[in-house]
Amino acid sequence: MKVAILGLGSIGSRHARNLERLGHAPIGFDPRPVKPTSFPIAATVDDALSAADAVVVATPTSLHADHALLALHRGLPVLVEKPLATNPAEAEQVAALARAENLTCGVAMNLRFHPAINELRALLSDGTLGRVLYAQVSCGSDLRAWRPGTDYRTTYSARAELGGGVVRDCVHELDYLTWLLGPAVSVTAEVEHASALEIDVEDLGLALIRLAGGALASLDLTYFDPAYRRGCLLVGADASARWDWTAGTIEVRRNERVPEIRPVDADVGHTYVAEVKDFLDAVSSSRPPRTTAEEGVAVVRLAEAILQSAHTGRRLSL
């Protein structure tokens, strides 16, 4: 399949490499000069779309909706990097057009393919944890270390005009929380530019989220952790499960018994391959991708509610 890759930054280039390894033919586009590649580079977005059977949108967040709409208007299935858009209205516009044209539109949430998240889903579905009462989701890292050789101040993550900020950037955590435990119904939040990072967006996000199933979840996201920190805790009526990304384990605890340690270590690179394979298989078999546009809209709506709750000082319903 010929796949247009709009945006050849770190994630767009990763998608292009993965597509080549899977036997597909990427066609790149980026308005900035790019290093020589093993695949053709189109002069314009139109040229890239004209040569494509499907599209991956990997431009800055502020352009996601515009580029997804261009692809859909041409009748092309599209995989949009997270988040689907910067605000709910744009996200809903993308999802509505995909529905109207009966086109595949997926959102690139690679953690849905991580063995840890799928092990947590299994623990929920088989009843090991019982009814989940509380969840804690965390992701902390140092923005300056994300892209070696690139000035972090120039990246979309650091700039409001490009749709940056830790809440929109770390929507993987919002997505897997709601994929595991169901939709959010209300949120109370605080955000802050707390560190010395030279950015014009928040680098700290804290939220308390009420989920439709009755559980409460706390969320903390940062751009300034000296050491990478990621994982979650699910506390059920019968057992708890703690996922530690760095250790590559899920620890299941029941009363005072010895904890059960389940290995879930993974090469995260495989999750990116899996999400592209899933998208292209969804296109060829006319089935929904693992993360649908509608689910992408829900995550954008939750991210927006977190930001609005923080700015207004009010608890918001979704």
What digits encode the pLDDT tens for the residues 73-116?
999 999 999 999 999 999 999 999 999 999 999 999 999 999 99
Q: Residue 150 to residues 112, 155, 258: CA-CA distances in angstroms?
A: 28, 8, 46
How confident is the model over 105-125, as pLDDT tens digits?
Answer: 999 999 999 999 999 999 999
Domain ranges for the chain? 2-110+274-291, 115-265
The pLDDT of residue 148 is above 90:
no
Residue 271 in contact with residue 154, Cβ under 8 Å?
Answer: no
Q: Do 57 and 81 form a contact (C-beta atoms < 8 A)?
A: yes
Domain 115-265, second-level architecture: 2-Layer Sandwich (3.30)
Which band of pLDDT confidence, cut at 50, 70 and 90, is reported for residue 157?
very high
β-pairing verdict for 25-29 and 2-6: parallel
- Alpha-carbon distance of 101 to 286, in angstroms, equals 13
Q: What CATH code would you report for 2-110+274-291? A: 3.40.50.720
Q: What is the pTM of this model?
A: 0.95
pLDDT tens-digit map of 50-62: 999 999 999 999 9
The predicted-structure confidence for 23-45, as pLDDT tens digits, reads as follows 999 999 999 888 889 999 999 99
Q: How far is CA 237 from CA 134, 145, 168, 301, in A?
A: 10, 39, 32, 29
Residue 147 in this model has a pLDDT that exceeds 90 = no
Q: How confident is the model at residue 236 (pLDDT cuts 50, 70, 90)?
A: very high
Which distant-in-sequence residues (6+ apart) come within 8 Å of 233 by Cβ? 134, 135, 136, 240, 241, 242, 243
